[in-house]
Chains A and B, each alone.
Chain A
Amino acid sequence: MQIGLNFTLGNTLDLVQRLIREGEVDYCELLIDNFLHVPPHELAGAFDCPIGFHIMFSKFLESDPEYLESMAARLRTYIDVLKPMYVSDHVARFNHNGRQLYHLAELDYRSEYDAVRQRVERWQEKLGQRLYLENYPSIMDSGCDAPGFFERITQETGGGMFFDASNAVCAHHNCGLALDAWETLIDSTPHFHVGSYNYSILEPKVVLDTHDGELSSDTLAFLERYKERFDKPGATMTYERDVNIEYDAIVADLRKLRAIFGDAKAVSHV
């Protein structure tokens, strides 16, 4: 299992380069559409490691064809230069009735399946790559439909599952979706995300995918229990940290991941 970190903001480059230099990460995942005005070779030169791509604002399920055509052309330039191990995107709703949702919403996996499938096929074709699709950190009961949705859509489109383990833990807490509902999908993919969660301010508490702190014990237990399913040739596990970006805290979590997947570096202490 290769352990990586997400890179979303240029001002964290020094920290990420240090993690690479010191061997705390094996690769880096770029939130690539944050960097579409950085010359591709400059971006490639900034990372002395393999790269993954995670797309944030294609909004491919909603955007008009001209916008997607333009964005795909730009992304293909970066794909050609940086040769990412994977290209992934979000399966979520960004807008409702033309108004932006600042907290993304989950799809209605049942009623929206056909339209979503068409969009996945087209976006994947435009990118010229197998597209990995990430599961949502479900709060409401729609989450219970997610495993069946992803099994069907990956099979029918040839796309891949981009399995976010901590998002599955959120869904487990919030809508009671058993973690073993994801077994087939975990087996089917080599690419994973993991990050911290936190609790809502109000009661009844819901669990929110916040990426702001330490990995929870139940997320780590999930990875441990299923490590043989997660770990496979070419497997990648990207640790997501978007808030409280502190070197030692990040290294501590990275080493917990290495300890689960049996890497000797985890033995030494921060």
Chain B
Amino acid sequence: MSENRTIDSELLDALMVPARQADYPRDSRAFVRIDTSLRVYWHVLFDICPELLELSGPDGLSIFRPFMAWADARQLSMNWTFYIWVYQWLLESEFREQVTRELAQSLTAASAARWANGDRSTNGGIVLGCTDFPELIAGWKCHTANGGREIECLELEDPLPMPKGRFGYFTVPKFELDNFPGWSEIPR
């Protein structure tokens, strides 16, 4: 076996940083492997929130590339909070005047859905609050054999206090919102 080889673990730093793709020859398998990884982030963002393409144009790159660089600089975890951090970046970007309440809610709901799909804790739900709109966004995990995750926009009769930061979240043990334990800060 030839030792002139490139293994996947050598590419890890580049797999979520578009600028690093250029470190590899364009005609290399490594370049394509990195591209495959980046495309997944692209699709996770724009397939779920296609309205972002109305801001950026159809290739999404004027959002995607700078956001991914910004996320890398901050070492964001890219976990369920991914869309919330996209919203935060938009508010600091050239697109800030075009960010609507509907877009904010859409990105928040996307984060709730990502939590409901991927979280493996014993909690059944997550509730997100944002100072930019009065409703709460709740995400509930699949809990029936023929069901899926559910996202709700909630307006409570007795509204909760607003989070201290722009966003806050709390988790719910089962599938009923019957307690408010206080807001937690959105993690990186």
Q: Are A57 and B76 in contact (CB under 8 A)?
A: no
| CB <8 Å contact, B75 and A97 | yes
Contacts of A98 in B (CB 8 A): 75, 77
Q: Is the CB of A140 within 8 A of B145?
A: no
Please name all residues of chain B whose beta carbon is closer than 8 Å to the beta carbon of A108 when the two chains form the complex. Answer: 7-9
Interface size class of B (residues with CB under 8 A): 35 or more
- Tell me whether B40 is interfacial, beta carbon within 8 Å: yes
Bound form: Cα–Cα A141–B10 in Å: 11
Determine the chain B residues whose CB is within 8 A of the CB of A35 once the complex forms: 142, 145
A93: which B residues are within 8 A, CB to CB?
A: 9, 12
B48–chain A nearest beta-carbon distance, Å: 12
Chain A neighbourhood of B7, CB < 8 A: 106, 108, 140-142
Q: Is A269 an interface residue (CB 8 A)?
A: no
Q: How far is the CB of A29 from chain B (nearest CB, A)?
A: 15
A-B pairs with lowest CB-CB distance, top 10 = A141-B5, A142-B7, A106-B8, A46-B145, A102-B40, A37-B143, A13-B146, A108-B9, A103-B37, A100-B78
Chain B residues with CB under 8 Å of chain A are 1, 5-13, 15-16, 27-33, 35-37, 39-41, 44, 75-79, 118, 120-122, 124, 141-148, 175
B37 contacts A208, C-beta separation under 8 Å? no
Q: Using Cβ atoms and an 8 Å threshold, which residues of chain B touch A112? A: 9
Is A10 interfacial (CB 8 A cutoff)? Answer: yes
Flag whether A33 is at the interface (Cβ < 8 A).
Answer: yes
CB-based contact B31/A57 at 8 Å: no
For the complex, what is the distance from the CA of A62 to the CA of B175, rounded to whole Å?
29
- Determine the distance from Cα of A9 to Cα of B124 in the docked complex, in whole angstroms: 17
A200 to chain B, nearest CB (A): 5
A74, A100, A144: which contacts B79 (Cβ < 8 A)?
A100
Q: Would you call A116 an interface residue if the criterion is a C-beta within 8 Å of the partner chain's C-beta atoms?
A: no
Please tell me the size bucket of the interface on A: 35 or more
Complex CA–CA separation, A138 to B7 (angstroms): 10
- Give 28 A-B contacts (CB < 8 Å), ordered by A residue: A9-B148, A10-B144, A13-B145, A14-B146, A36-B120, A37-B141, A37-B175, A38-B143, A43-B145, A67-B120, A70-B122, A74-B122, A93-B9, A98-B75, A99-B16, A102-B16, A103-B37, A105-B15, A107-B8, A108-B9, A139-B36, A140-B8, A142-B7, A144-B5, A174-B29, A200-B32, A202-B32, A204-B32
Find chain B residues with CB under 8 A from A268 CB.
none
Q: A33-B120, A201-B39, A202-B35 are in contact. Are A38 and B145 (CB under 8 A)?
A: yes
- Determine the chain A residues whose CB is within 8 A of the CB of B30 once the complex forms: 140
Q: Which of A74-131 contact B (CB under 8 A)?
A: 74, 93, 96-103, 105-108, 111-112
Q: Which residue of A lies closest to B35 (CB)?
A: A202
**Is B36 touching A105 in the complex (CB atoms < 8 A)?**
no
Q: Are A139 and B16 in contact (CB under 8 A)?
A: no
Q: How far is the CA of A33 from the CA of B146 in the complex (A)?
A: 15
Contact A204 B36 (CB under 8 A): no
Nearest to B145 among chain A residues (CB) is A46
Q: Choose among A13, A35, A74, A140 the residue with the greatest number of B CB atoms under 10 Å from its CB.
A: A140
Q: Report A-chain residues with C-beta under 8 Å of the C-beta of B1.
A: 144
How far does the alpha carbon of A99 sit from the alpha carbon of B13 in the complex, in Å?
10
Which of B6, B76, B148 makes the CB contact (< 8 A) with A11?
B148
- Partner among A36, A105, A204 whose Cβ is within 8 Å of the Cβ of B8: A105
Q: Are A101 and B145 in contact (CB under 8 A)?
A: no
- A102 touching B32 by the CB < 8 A rule? no
